[in-house]
Amino acid sequence: MDKLDILLSQTRPLYFKRKRNRRLAAAASILSPCVVALFLSFWNFSSPQSPIYDAWSDEIYQAQCGSIIEDYGLPVDEYGLLKVV
């Protein structure tokens, strides 16, 4: 029984030290995403203003700025509609 008491008295500080390290690791793993999210919420992510080019934007631009029919070289009236000759 004496040997068991000696063994327990030697291992008790190591056990509590490991237990404390586990708690610190758990707290760090919980708090680190919160700190990163807080930092990113205050960071200004402004990208340079650049136009977005895709297939639909070209079609919309052509529809707003002129007649698509006229772009094909067909005769159009003053409204941009196909003119029947």
Q: Which of 71, 72, 69 is nearest to 83 (CA)?
A: 69
pLDDT confidence of residue 49: 58
Report helix, strand or coil for 76: strand
Residue 71 · residue 59 · CB < 8 Å: no
How many helices (H) does the chain have, and how many strands (E)? 3, 0
Q: Which residue has the higher pLDDT, 9 or 21?
A: 9
Residue 11 scores a pLDDT above 60:
yes
pLDDT confidence of residue 62: 67
Q: What are 14-68's pLDDT values in tens digits? A: 877 777 778 888 888 888 888 888 887 777 666 555 566 666 777 777 667 777 7
Residue 10 scores a pLDDT above 80:
yes
State the first-to-last Cα distance of the chain, in angstroms, to the nearest integer. Answer: 115
